[in-house]
Structure 1
Amino acid sequence: MATKKATNKSSNPTISVSLRIDPKTKYLIDLLARDQKRTITGVIEWAIERAAAQVQFDQNSGTYYNDMIDELWSTDEATRLTALALHKPSLLDYDQMRIWETVKASPDLWRSGYMPSPNLPIHAHALEVGIIRRYWDSIVEHVDQFRHSPAVKPFVLTSEQKKEAGISDSNFDDFPDELPF
């Protein structure tokens, strides 16, 4: 007697996707599924994996999408957006671009003394990914608050947030008013 094996859905979550395809393509998928003894989902996943191995992610380095997916994918939204923005910002959608532009314009989200230049490549090591992850919800809320602004408004950590993150609040208040030289 066969028993049904219990599966833990949280260990391997899936996402439902609704597709609109023409009847001929649907029939082709059905035929492939029958021939390969796969489910329709299996055929679609197989086709996407084959495409990812054939389409170049970066023409200069010769990397393909399947080479990059482990670097780009994270269950953490902040990490995922940051990775995509650093590797191929042209793939960001409008909302992601607003968040990334805010991150780039926010000195509190970069290592001390570094601010990205619009004309130069960004140094990923200078980005405070841990701080972005910690305050992700606040950053997204900030971007949403200023969504109608024609210019990007930098995200600024409060003094309390800076203290939590271990960032010194270098506003020079602790310096004497007159220096002895």
Structure 2
Amino acid sequence: MRKLTGVNEMAKNKPSQGARKTETLTLRLDPKVKLMIELMSRIRRQSITGVVEAAIEEIAFDLDAPFVSGGEAHPMSLGSAISEIWSTDESERFINLCHYLPSLITYEEQRLWETIKASKFFLTPGTGDMPTYWEIPGVGRIERYTLRRWWQNLLAHVEDNKESRTIVPFEPPF
């Protein structure tokens, strides 16, 4: 039996820890699988973490993901897709996930994405070739800086309105 714990199956930092280079993940494993991992780590002279990371990366490059590019979904290895969407900035990573792997977002992520799209506050008439916005078909241009600046407030707003039957657009508190 394997079970991942955490919000949206993603590891989270404790608020007092700030940004870290690694994340903590708690797993429940069948005792036989746990022994197997421990023995693999001894044979490879790696930490258990190293063994688990290597196994996940190997699987990710063998697993096809429905990557959207040019408005159409094409199979791409999950490992390659991660290379396209990864950013150390959470808001950037989130928008990339919604743009490139929209069929894989959770209900909670979809609520956040729909709130962003419905919030005129994040839209910009931006022109030019500078990558200061994301072009979202049918919505317009979402200003990167504004979204980053208000990201934590936006997350709190979506949480506060999670019971609403409709999307409540975000408005800054000024």
TM-score (norm 2): 0.69
Instruction: Give the alignment partner of residue 54 of structure 1, picking from 46, 62, 66.
Output: 62
| 1:94, distance to aligned residue in structure 2 (A) | 3.0
User: 3-state SS of the aligned residue for 1:26?
Assistant: helix
More strand by share: 2
Structure 1: state its 5+ residue gaps.
1-9, 114-120, 161-181
1:19-58 pair list within 5 angstroms: 19-58=27-66
Distance 1:37 1:87, change over 3 A: same
Please, what is the CA RMSD of the aligned residues?
2.8
1:25-174 pair list within 5 angstroms: 25-58=33-66, 60-112=73-125, 122-123=136-137, 126-157=141-172
Q: Percent identity?
A: 35
| 1:86, distance to aligned residue in structure 2 (A) | 1.1
Cα deviations across residues 136-162 of structure 1 (Å, max 9, x unaligned)? 12222322232221100112357x7xx
Equivalent pairs counted in the alignment come to 143
Cα deviations across residues 97-120 of structure 1 (Å, max 9, x unaligned)? 22111011122322339xxxxxxx
User: 3-state SS of the aligned residue for 1:45?
Assistant: helix
| 1:17, distance to aligned residue in structure 2 (A) | 1.6
Structure 2: state its 5+ residue gaps.
1-17, 68-72, 127-134
Distance 1:11 1:27, change over 3 A: same
